[in-house]
Amino acid sequence: MTRVQKSNDCGNSPKNLLVQSLAIAIETCNASAFARCVAADVIWTLPGRRSFSGKAACLAYLNARKPVTPKLIKVRRVISHGRAGAADGVLVLGSGHPHNFCHVVGFANIKGDNVSSISSYYVELGDEE
């Protein structure tokens, strides 16, 4: 079972809560939670790797990811301002190897009730972390 440590940055911010929920959905490969967070025409980019257009394509990619259950997901910070937001944190796999992640999002509207773009970044940490 994955232990999730949520950020304290969300408070009374619905946008921050949405960004955090999306980050957790991505890291746990939770397709139903992901689908609730994104717009039908979402574009998900993994810079330097590939890009997916539309909710169906994004969900297909999420479902096809190797089913690895992380030991820990720790969301360090969540921010939002206007039509943009981001969440960063660390993912610890079953092997014990930690990875930093950052998901930068664009909201479909100023209300920020769903996400129209995602850029996801990952860095595997060495033994010094």
| Strands of the 72-81 sheet, one edge to the other | 3-5, 72-81, 84-92, 98-107, 115-124, 38-46, 50-53
Domain-located, residue 53: yes
Query: 97: pLDDT confidence band, cut at 50, 70 and 90?
Result: confident
Question: What's the domain range around 54?
Answer: 3-124
Per-residue pLDDT tens over the stretch 59-71: 999 998 866 678 9
Query: 41: pLDDT confidence band, cut at 50, 70 and 90?
Result: very high
Domain-located, residue 129: no
Domain-located, residue 69: yes
In the chain, the amino acid numbered 105 is V
| Total structural domains within the chain | 1
State the CATH number of the domain containing residue 98: 3.10.450.50
- C-alpha span between 37 and 86 (Å, rounded): 14
Q: How many CB atoms lie within 10 A of CB 68?
A: 13
- C-alpha span between 26 and 48 (Å, rounded): 18
- C-alpha span between 95 and 88 (Å, rounded): 21
Q: What is the pLDDT of residue 126?
A: 62
